[in-house]
A and B are shown apart, each in its own frame.
Chain A
Amino acid sequence: MMERPKPDSDAALIAASLRDGGQFYGVFERHFGLIHRFIAARAGASSADDLASEVFLVAFRRRADYDLNAETARPWLLGIAVRVVAAHFRGQQRGRGLLRRVTAAHGDGSSPGPHARVDATTVGPELEAALAELRHHELEVLLLSAWGELSYEEIAAALRVPVGTVRSRLSRARTKLQTSLNGPSTGEPAPLMEAGE
């Protein structure tokens, strides 16, 4: 059963914004800083303005779908941010593919460069290289945990996957990173299968 949201909560603001869109400014003002930083760390400062803005436009359009049991909108907004950034990278990939075909047709053999998934200026080349070894969904879980400061349950809600899947992805991501950066871990081995997938 859904309880009435606390008056100051994001849930209350979002519920009120269904009657009066201006209430949504409150959600924006609370979370824009985090969302902008999260995106800047992923896609770079030059893309962060547009993408962070896009996150809140998407959120405003979809506010009727918000689970009012969730007092804070942070997981929801970070989930949207993850998808907006993914769409941004897919667009870049398509652009690179087109560039590759064009340059190939003109005899230019230059490489389009690695598939950027985190901003190199933020994490540095070593960590960027290690993060690039992760699978996409492992990276998302790791960054939502480390940068978004979400719990397993919140990550699961943000990505719409079971909590067990979050645990296994996070474990695998850490193991891979440990190996890439420092050599094999002496800790517990990562699960062999992803729960819930």
Chain B
Amino acid sequence: MSIDEQLQAAWRRVPEPSPDQFRQARGALGAAINSSPRPASRRPGRSMVLKVAASAAGLAAIVGLLVAALPRGQEGVPPASTTMTSPSGALSVSLLERPVSPGSPSLPRAVPDDVVDPASLRHVVTIGSTRYFAARGRLDGVYCLVSTEPITDVCGVPGEFGRTGLVASITPQSPKPNGGRLIVGLVPDGIEEVWVGDLRASVRDNTFAVDVPQVPNAVTLVGPKAPQVGNASRDTWARGTSGDGLPTVTVPIAPPGVVISPNPGGKTDSGSRIIGVRLLAVSATPSFTPLSVTGTTIEAVADPRWLIEVSNTGDDPLTGVVVTATWSQKAFGSPVIGRGTIQTIEPNRSATVEIPGPTLDRYAVGAPGMLTVEISPPPGERNTGNNGASFPLTMDFG
């Protein structure tokens, strides 16, 4: 074996850092970044702006918890619809890298610990008698917003690879008597303002709250990281450039049909029963490597397969749950779509389905691709925001 071959063989034995190692180092860097001087506030028209198109239902998929109306007073000039760039790197929620502040309000009585890591809960805001907390999701790279009274969790991926680019949401079943609504939400690092129509809300601790007269159909995020909120792999995210040369991206933020519900995430009342499924985890065989929404590299094999774990978060057994895994890679025009069906999942239990991935002739070794997993919603489920996720993935020899 030549010297180069020996060195390369040695190099291939060096493992990638784990998500925990990544997070730890990112936290250390975050401390340095946060202690560096902040930039001056920008006018929206001069900023890099992410225009997020949203249906009434989809708005909350960005973020929102809609509750009681608040006094107004956040009016201003709406930002220009502009900007875009190619995303680079998954975003994060720095708030969760910091220690819990002393005197933080007490935690929710019943933390949905199958969804969020209770140890990561951070109080972000209290409005009326409702407290809001940010937390890490159980699925790597996922962040959640948890509210009290009622206990509600909404989760999403604040990075380029997410379904929304932001944090998932809940929509109110009905507006308040005066028609006003309050949107509370988590946004990724690098977003400084949120505009809803002509209303502006500042972002503090990755959180904003804005009172709106009615559910809007668009939310505009303003901040230096706005261009990175997006998903380059999805054609539906329109991109362009503003008149002054700044990049723009317009992102549909949730699949149609997402309904905001005060029930715990993923569940929906159907009469007196709750119906819901949730994507718990995805791993690749034969290595059984867990996939991360922030990106994973696995060994290239002739016939990779996906192990997809789905939980039944409802009250009744579910039958015939269909799971779809779509592998796409730029080098190949058409995606490789695999489907599997889980015959039965009992309430509060999970089940795993194995779906074939692309054969060796249908993927490029060493090149990034995207695996998107979707669980078909069972009849009656209205909150489908946690029914799927996208996983950047590279299959390489080594």
Binding site for B on A (CB under 8 A): 7-8, 13, 16, 19-26, 28-30, 32-33, 36-37, 40-41, 45, 48-49, 52-53, 56-57, 60-61, 122-124, 127, 142-143, 146-147, 174, 177-178, 181
Cα–Cα, bound, A29→B26 (Å)? 8
Q: Cβ of A41 and Cβ of B11 under 8 Å apart? A: yes
Q: Are the C-beta atoms of A7 and B247 separated by less than 8 Å?
A: yes
Task: Given A40-B14, A146-B7, verify A20-B24 contact (CB < 8 Å).
Answer: no
B127 at the interface (CB under 8 A from A): no
Question: With A177-B3, A181-B6 given, is the CB distance from A52 to B11 under 8 Å?
Answer: no
Docked CA distance A7–B242 (Å): 14
CB-nearest residue of chain A to B27? A53
Q: Is the CB of B33 within 8 A of A37?
A: no
- Taking a contact as CB atoms under 8 Å apart, the answer to whether B4 and A28 are in contact is no
B14 / chain A contacts, CB cutoff of 8 Å: 37, 40-41, 122
Partner of A37 from B15, B25, B26 at Cβ < 8 Å: B15
A37–B7 CA distance with the chains assembled, in angstroms: 14
When distances are taken between beta carbons in the complex, the residues of chain B under 8 Å from A45 are 15
- 14 residue pairs bridging A and B, Cβ less than 8 Å apart: A8-B88, A22-B189, A28-B26, A32-B25, A33-B17, A37-B11, A37-B14, A41-B10, A49-B24, A56-B28, A60-B33, A122-B11, A146-B11, A178-B3
Residue of B6, B13, B189, B247 near A25 (CB, 8 A) is: B189
A21 touching B33 in the complex, CB below 8 Å, given contacts A30-B88, A37-B15, A122-B14: yes
Which residues does chain B contribute within 8 Å of A33, judged by CB atoms? 16-17, 22
By a CB distance below 8 angstroms, the chain A residues around B367 are: none
- Picked from A32, A53, A147, A174, the residue with its CB within 8 Å of the CB of B3 is A174
A/B pair count, beta carbons within 8 Å: 123
Question: B245: shortest Cβ distance to chain A, in Å?
Answer: 10
A61 to B28, CA, bound (A): 13
- What are the interface flags for B10-49 relative to A under an 8 Å C-beta threshold, 1 for contact and 0 otherwise? 1101111100011011101110111011110000000000
Residues from chain B with Cβ under 8 Å of A28 in the complex: 25-26, 29, 89
- Chain A neighbourhood of B37, CB < 8 A: 21
Pairs A-B, 4 closest by C-beta atoms? A29-B89, A21-B33, A146-B7, A36-B17
Complex contact A32–B17 (CB within 8 A) = yes
Bound-state CA distance A51–B16 (Å) is 15
Of the candidates A24, A30, A53, A147, which one forms a contact with B7 in the assembled complex, judged by CB atoms under 8 Å apart?
A147
Cross-chain contact B90 with A29 (CB below 8 angstroms): yes
- Cβ contact within 8 Å between B224 and A16: yes
Q: Does B162 sit at the interface, judged by CB under 8 A?
A: no
With A19-B224, A41-B11, A146-B11 as contacts: A24 and B29 at CB distance below 8 Å: yes
Binary A-proximity of B340-382 (CB < 8 A = 1, otherwise 0): 0000000000000000000000000000000000000000000
Contacts of A24 in B (CB 8 A): 29, 33
A146 and B85 in contact, given A28-B29, A33-B17 (Cβ under 8 angstroms): no
The residue in chain A whose Cβ has the minimal distance to the Cβ of B34 is: A21
How many B residues are at the interface, by size bracket? Answer: 35 or more
CB pair B33–A25 under 8 Å, yes or no, is yes
In B71-109, the 8 Å CB interface with A consists of: 85-86, 88-92
User: For the complex, is B8 an interface residue (Cβ under 8 Å from A)?
Assistant: yes
Min CB distance, A16 to chain B, in Å? 6
Q: A25-B33, A127-B6 are in contact. Are A30 and B21 (CB under 8 A)?
A: no
| Chain A neighbourhood of B189, CB < 8 A | 22, 25
- Shortest C-beta distance, B396 to chain A (Å), equals 12
Q: How far is the CA of A197 from the CA of B325 in the complex (A)?
A: 57
Report yes or no: A146 in contact with B8, Cβ–Cβ below 8 A. yes
Considering only CB atoms, which chain A residue lies closest to B11 in the complex?
Answer: A147
Q: Inside 8 A of A8's CB, which chain B residues have their CB? A: 85-86, 88
Task: State whether A7 and B16 are in contact (beta carbons under 8 Å apart), knowing that A24-B29, A32-B25, A60-B33 are contacts in the complex.
Answer: no
**In B274-325, which residues have CB < 8 Å from any A CB?**
none
Does any Cβ of A come within 8 Å of B228's Cβ? Answer: yes
| B190 at the binding interface (Cβ < 8 Å) | yes
A6 CB → nearest B CB, Å: 10
Q: For residue A56, which residue of chain B has the nearest CB?
A: B29
Please name the residue on chain B nearest to A38 by beta carbon: B14
Complexed CA–CA distance, A30 and B3 (Å): 28
Q: Given A16-B224, A25-B92, is A122 in contact with B3 using a C-beta cutoff of 8 Å?
A: no
Task: State whether the Cβ of B225 lies closer than 8 Å to any Cβ in chain A.
Answer: yes
Q: Do the beta carbons of B16 and A37 come within 8 Å of each other?
A: yes
User: Do A19 and B25 have beta carbons less than 8 Å apart?
Assistant: no
Contact A52 B17 (CB under 8 A): yes
CA distance A37 to B26 in the complex (A): 16
- CB within 8 Å for A49 and B8 given contacts A25-B33, A33-B16, A37-B15: no
Instruction: Assess whether A53 is in contact with B29, with CB atoms less than 8 Å apart.
Output: yes
